[in-house]
Amino acid sequence: MKKQPFRFWMTGCAAVLVASMGAQARGDTRGDDRGAGMRHSRYGLKETVLRLEASAQRRGLQVLAHVAAPRRLGDAGESLLIVFASAAGGTPVVMDRAGGTPQAPLALVVSAGRAGEAEVAVPSADWAGLPEGVEQELAALPQLVEEALGQGAV
């Protein structure tokens, strides 16, 4: 069942994005069982990021921001948050409850693994009540990631 956001807006404001990024990079933006799905990449961090960006561009999404994500306890290497801009302009930001942390669901966290590969955290796309195009972009994010991590050249 899709969840209605308590608050929703589209933004390109760096301050709002930064507020959501720390929690998102730590993986604690989903206070319930709707957390991010992890996808393994056989490519390193930089190659994975390039592949994700190319896949996004093929789907009409542009990169709005790259932010070095804070490391979680026990993380082997660096992480990068990639925030995509919607074709509607800006990126969606949602809050699930009053006082909740803003979340940027059109964003991916890419983390370096211990053996040179990478992991991609894909956020849940179960938001309802957003503009139709934005809901479609969120729903397509997992396929975008699968395409980027698949076989073949970028």
Cβ–Cβ < 8 Å for 138, 56: no
- Per-position pLDDT tens, the chain of length 154: 778 888 887 877 665 666 565 555 555 444 433 356 899 999 999 999 999 999 999 998 999 988 886 655 555 578 888 999 998 888 888 888 898 888 889 999 999 988 889 999 998 878 888 888 999 999 999 999 999 999 655 5
Nearest CA-CA partner of 136 in 145, 123, 127: 127
Q: What is the pLDDT of residue 103?
A: 84
Q: Report d(CA 145, CA 58) in Å as an integer.
A: 12
Partners of 92 in the β-ladder? 10
Q: From CA 111, how far away is CA 75, in angstroms rounded?
A: 8
- The pLDDT value given to residue 14: 65
SS3 for 67?
Answer: strand
Helix (H) or strand (E) holding 153: none
With beta carbons less than 8 A apart as the criterion, state whether 123 and 101 touch.
no
Q: Rounded to the nearest 5 degrees, what angle is found at the Cα of 86, between the Cα atoms of 44 and 151?
A: 30
Identify the pLDDT of residue 31. 40
* Axis crossing angle, helix 45-58 with helix 132-149, rounded to the nearest 10: 140
How far apart are the C-alpha atoms of 31 and 35, rounded to whole Å? Answer: 8
